[in-house]
Structure 1
């Protein structure tokens, strides 16, 4: 993906959904990206306008979640940023500006139209068919029947974000909930069920984003090399006995002495990879605090096959 890291899935999730009640293709756009000399190249994909901001947003959000909620954290930066950018299309001027600036975009340097075209390009790129992996990223709106959205808004979200709008009756929360859950279940081939449990009484809209990802490892793990009772250290005092996979294979790997962590990149068949960061004992907070977009770019240049 070039110098910008494209964040799709957090923590190696295979099938997940981001469902949030509030109080996925159009023309192929060509944008601009900054070269090392500071100039811009007209041949770069339009998503280069948004991927640096998504990377920065991913790290900022992770640090905030880690500080507020100790424990397991799982989220998709692409899902959240795409959903909020879509929402900004239907917001008033001040709110739209606040949403996009909250995502990390500098609106004095980047036009809002270029941001939306960047997300359009990103969604189109992710949706390109591949014989080696399957990826579905989609957005949908369920609007209460009393809402009358402007046709321009509906046309824009469909063209730029591939999002479809459905009329719903939120006074019948049970029926609407089943309808939304069934929609997500079908889109994710039955892997995600009952994503939305209930609605607040004043709910008028549900903005939905789903992800389905399935791929095989480029170097598959041998199931006979799985130790069924290996020790997994949750923290200094807690150990679990769980199945652990093992393999001896060539992967891109490094040890960052300054950040005190081991970094391993494992490839899937197709254009996808997972990045595993393992802090040294007692160094979790240090690694979290030090993570920056520049860190990821540095690692990409220092990886060696081992």
Structure 2
């Protein structure tokens, strides 16, 4: 007889409940009680971010056809949207148009409020959460920020604002790196590699997720297995073999099998594994409506899964990221100066986004390698993440896209 499953933790990645483990009380704290925020309208903003993120991903995929890609759409778009606050020129509207946020039909003030709503859960998780995220803006101490921008950066985008002297670029770089190192408990080191002495602003966004792989059926073990990199190349990596309850189905027009992990606290994690040799075709066809249609296919079933231990870290300079979308003027000095500063400044600005994502088996109690050979699991389908795959992580309460990427090498 099959062991009954527990509704509080159904899935292989139940350890990911720590991603955003909100109780009902926690969830409605603070901004979630703000009657001035229209949650339905804010979902339009989240859906727009998701659509833009797919376009951005496709551009990244063209630039890096055979490498890992990983970024946080919510963090990237929020950083750029924050720079649109201010009324001294048309720069604000230009930025919102570049990010397609004008298509929501909302006034800019409401869009900024929606970012407060969308960012709140990841910037105020419980102390026990394995997710950490933050935004820190280092501004030249001789520059006067517009009051509206300063208030909005702190209140709406929940960003630290730190005056700093850039005269000694080496000292400024060390100060920024030490600040981020302390904020992230040493998980992000040396995020700034170089800095000019005439820099006027440095904006750093980061999101870190350390997840534990577990099995709710006490059937899990780690085995060294092949991960196929392509072109007949493979590497041996630790692969967690386990069994649990998932949503598993095929999406024919993406040539892919899809495994979805869902959680009662509104997190959806999509693992999309294209058929051999069809990754590029799947990427070209991928649209955000695919994810919306996938949700309609949700149907829990027992699945045996081989999940690689992942250790991924990506850093993006947002100027180069936005250049991929053909909107390089957004981060021009003229635009930034007119939007956030009292006086026009010709000095350069830097906007950095850092993503760290790990899945591992550390700290978990292993079970026997024979557990999957039990007759209990004889007819359970097998899903193997043993070749390049796509990953998408979403807060399904507000549709905010937290992570999007492609895993080609699980240990880079």
TM over 0.5: yes
**Alignment pair present for 1:284 and 2:294:** no
**Alignment pair present for 1:171 and 2:167:** yes
**Alignment pair present for 1:124 and 2:130:** no
**Alignment pair present for 1:74 and 2:70:** yes
CA contact (8 A) 1:218 1:268 kept: no
Distance 2:35 2:262 in 1: 29
Distance 1:274 1:148 in 2: 43
**Alignment pair present for 1:265 and 2:260:** yes
CA contact (8 A) 2:181 2:187 kept: yes
**Partner of residue 151 from structure 2, selected from 146, 149, 155:** 155
Q: 1:30 to 1:223 in 2, by over 3 A?
A: farther
CA contact (8 A) 1:181 1:194 kept: yes
Aligned position for 1:114: 110
Q: 1:167 to 1:31 in 2, by over 3 A?
A: closer
**Alignment pair present for 1:28 and 2:34:** yes
Aligned position for 1:209: 205
After superposition, give the CA deviation of every residue in 1:131-161 in whole Å (9 maximum; x if it has no partner).
Answer: 7734332222101122111223211211111
Structure 2 residue runs of 5 or longer lacking an equivalent are: 1-15, 20-29, 302-412
Distance 2:119 2:264 in 1: 20
Distance 1:29 1:196 in 2: 39
After superposition, give the CA deviation of every residue in 1:100-149 in whole Å (9 maximum; x if it has no partner).
Answer: 11212125822111110110111123344447734332222101122111
Distance 2:251 2:206 in 1: 34
Aligned position for 1:83: 79
Structure 1 residue runs of 5 or longer lacking an equivalent are: 1-11, 16-24, 33-43
Question: Greater RCO between the two (CA within 8 Å, min separation 6)?
Answer: 2
Aligned position for 1:21: none
TM-score, normalised via structure 1 length? 0.80
Aligned position for 1:253: 248
Aligned position for 1:49: 44
**Alignment pair present for 1:102 and 2:98:** yes
After superposition, give the CA deviation of every residue in 1:220-261 in whole Å (9 maximum; x if it has no partner).
Answer: 697962112x11111133211221111122111111122210
Q: 1:297 to 1:269 in 2, by over 3 A?
A: closer
Q: Please identify which structure carries the higher strand content.
A: 2
Q: Number of aligned residue pairs: give it.
A: 273
Distance 1:280 1:299 in 2: 18
- In structure 2, the residue corresponding to 1:179 is in which secondary structure? helix
CA contact (8 A) 2:181 2:188 kept: yes
After superposition, give the CA deviation of every residue in 1:16-50 in whole Å (9 maximum; x if it has no partner).
Answer: xxxxxxxxx86835444xxxxxxxxxxx3553131
Query: Could you say what the CA RMSD is over the residues aligned between the two structures, in angstroms?
Result: 2.8
Distance 2:87 2:206 in 1: 22
Which structure has the larger Rg over C-alpha atoms?
2
- In structure 2, the residue corresponding to 1:106 is in which secondary structure? helix
Distance apart, 1:84 and its partner CA: 0.4
TM-score, normalised via structure 2 length? 0.60
Q: 1:221 to 1:88 in 2, by over 3 A?
A: farther
CA contact (8 A) 2:260 2:268 kept: yes
- In structure 1, the residue corresponding to 2:70 is in which secondary structure? coil
